[in-house]
Amino acid sequence: MTMKDKVRQTMGGAREKLGSVTGNRRLEASGRMQRRRAQVAEVAHDLRSKASRLVRDVQVRRRPDGPADPL
């Protein structure tokens, strides 16, 4: 999760609300799109982080001088 994604989610949500209040469907739709894109980017970032941690853990366990196997 990055701060940039959180800011984009917030801005998109604000645009969506403003469009809803003013009856501007185009603004509402663009705000919804911005918010959802930021949510997808956040999830993708979290998945990349978890995958890289998993790969790093596997590499450490496969080293001959790595930590002992708990089994």
Residue with tokens 């998993």: 54
Q: Give the separation between CA 26 and CA 32, rounded to whole angstroms.
A: 10
* 71 contact partners, CB below 8 Å, separation of at least 6: none
Alpha-carbon separation of residue 33 from 12, 19, 22, 39, 42 (angstroms): 7, 12, 18, 10, 14
Q: pLDDT tens digits for 8-62? A: 999 999 999 999 999 999 999 999 999 999 999 999 999 999 999 999 998 888 8
Indicate whether 3 pLDDT > 70: yes
DSSP assignment letter at 71: -
